[in-house]
Amino acid sequence: MYKLIPTLCLLLFTMSGNAQDTTVYRWVDKDNIVHFSHQHPSDKDFAKVDVRVAYAPVVPEGEKNSFVDDWLAERQAQKEAKNELERARQTSELIEKNCEAAQVNLKLLGGFERILLKEPDGSSRLLTPEEKQEQRMLNKQHVDIYCDDNENS
């Protein structure tokens, strides 16, 4: 349904320029049915329709005057809500990954006496006991921040 509305609007806007250049004929047949056509009816009593006249509803100043404006605003709100949900999902995944990483680091720091640290330049060195304790405290803080209370138990 929502895809149909913009298509119809586009069609109406496209046709509005062409409609002004076209003559439209109106006639009533023997069964009292009203017909409209751009082809001249040869054997009918007809009237020409002025297509340049358009109905414009009177709208109080400051109010929206278009169904399309309302639809576009609703569509924009839906897109923003969808984007917000996606950001929330991504944030949740990042928090979960940070929790897992902090828990793994904490287990590794507590489970091994010697920890080899790879430096950014590619060299390796052992963590000192002070650095190891500092890293354990930091990872405990990360567990407290990123992990739910249920996971810590």
Q: pLDDT per residue over 75-119, tens digit each?
A: 999 999 999 999 999 999 999 999 999 999 999 998 888 988 899
What's the number of domains the chain is made of?
Answer: 2
Q: What pLDDT is recorded for position 152?
A: 45
8 and 54 share one domain: yes
SS3 content of the chain, % helix, strand, coil (to 5): 55, 10, 35
Mean pLDDT score across all residues of the chain: 79
Residue 108 in domain: yes
- Give me the pLDDT at residue 4, please: 58
Residue 73 lies in a domain: no
Handedness of CA 151, 140, 121, 130 (dihedral sign): negative
Residue 147 lies in a domain: yes
**Three state DSSP letters for 66-133:** CHHHHHHHHHHHHHHHHHHHHHHHHHHHHHHHHHHHHHHHHHHHHHCCCCEEECCCCCEEECCHHHHH
Residue 126 pLDDT greater than 80, yes or no: yes
| Predicted local confidence at residue 69, as pLDDT | 77
Domain around 43 = 4-66
Choice between 42 and 152, residue whose per-residue pLDDT is larger: 42
User: Could you tell me if 51 and 96 lie in one domain?
Assistant: no
Verify that 59 and 110 share a domain, yes or no.
no
Residue 110: inside a domain, yes or no? yes
Residue where a domain terminates, one of 49, 66, 83: 66
Q: What's the rounded mean pLDDT across residues 54-80?
A: 74
pLDDT greater than 50 at residue 153:
no
Residue 78 within any structural domain of the chain: no
Same domain for 143 and 100: yes
